[in-house]
Amino acid sequence: MPGTPATFLVAAWRLLRREADAVLALTGALVFLPAFATLLAADPIPPLPEGPRDQAAMAAWMDTVIAWGGQGNALLYLLADVVALYGAAAVALLLVAPARPTVGEALVQAARRIVPFALLNLAVAVPVGLGLWLFVLPGLYAQARLSVALPLLAGDPRAGVGAALAGSVRRTRGRGLAITGALVAVFLVQWIVAVPLLSADTWLRAPGNENPFVLFLVDAGIAAAGAAWHVAALLVGVVAYRTGRA
């Protein structure tokens, strides 16, 4: 099915409505809550220098980041990412595993196969992260072409990481732009919601602007926007997996 961005978005929405109880429970517990807790407990990542980003400025920024990580902040973010990866794997297993596992069974299977899921996540994160850093659209296109890798790995316990990546590229051939369009639409909505909340978070952490209750609500919104993006991108990948040719 070549499809259009709207085709993938509508199918993903219908899939979410059918599986809402399990998908939202897993996403809330394993994606939203760890991210929310990290935002509340960790210091924010040091921003890039606002002035000229010459060698001295970037070296000073790197020293600040290293000091930030050494205070335990990096570990908190890493733990949140690992738990979110585990949650995404459980959701993928729940939606595509041939045996149609229960939520509990999906969690057990995700735990047993966490190593290949983690390796796959790392393999996908490198090209996607590089593309997002260079310019957003190449990163989203890379994510679109690799969006089927996680469902492929979840649907076939015998598949390796390399086979899942190659299978994703093969199954999205001719549909990459349509899937990218769907991801761009979701990304824009998430960006529109998250950017003002991130600005509010920075302002609320400045001396003299402290308001713990409002910061709690703002960070909840940031974590919810991130969780929504993750689950939407996963559902689009599941739709592409179910409608693509092997």
Residue ranges per domain, the chain?
A: 5-243
The pLDDT of residue 59: 72
Model confidence at 244, pLDDT cuts 50, 70, 90, reads confident
For residues 72 and 183, which has the higher predicted lDDT (pLDDT)? 183
The pLDDT of residue 245: 66
Q: How far apart are CA 67 and CA 64, in angstroms?
A: 5
> Nearest to residue 149, comparing CAs of 171, 126, 176?
171
pLDDT higher than 90, residue 14? yes
The pLDDT of residue 136: 85
For the chain, percent of residues with pLDDT exceeding 90? 70
pLDDT digits (tens, 9 = 90+) for 106-120: 999 999 999 999 999
The pLDDT of residue 54: 60
**Poorest-confidence range of 31-40, 55-64, 128-137, 237-246?**
55-64
pLDDT higher than 80, residue 164? yes
Helix ranges, 97-175 (H): 103-112, 114-134, 136-145, 149-155, 161-171
| Contact between 231 and 91 (Cβ < 8 Å) | yes
Residue with the two structure tokens 């960006």: 191
For residues 228 and 56, which has the higher predicted lDDT (pLDDT)? 228
pLDDT digits (tens, 9 = 90+) for 80-111: 999 999 999 999 999 998 888 999 999 999 99
H or E element, residue 221: helix 212-243
Amino acid at 17: R
Q: How far apart are CA 235 and CA 183, in angstroms?
A: 10
Question: Mean pLDDT for the chain?
Answer: 90
| Contact between 32 and 227 (Cβ < 8 Å) | yes
Structure tokens at 59: 């070296």
pTM: 0.90
The pLDDT of residue 104: 94
The pLDDT of residue 246: 61
Q: How far apart are CA 129 and CA 153, in angstroms?
A: 21
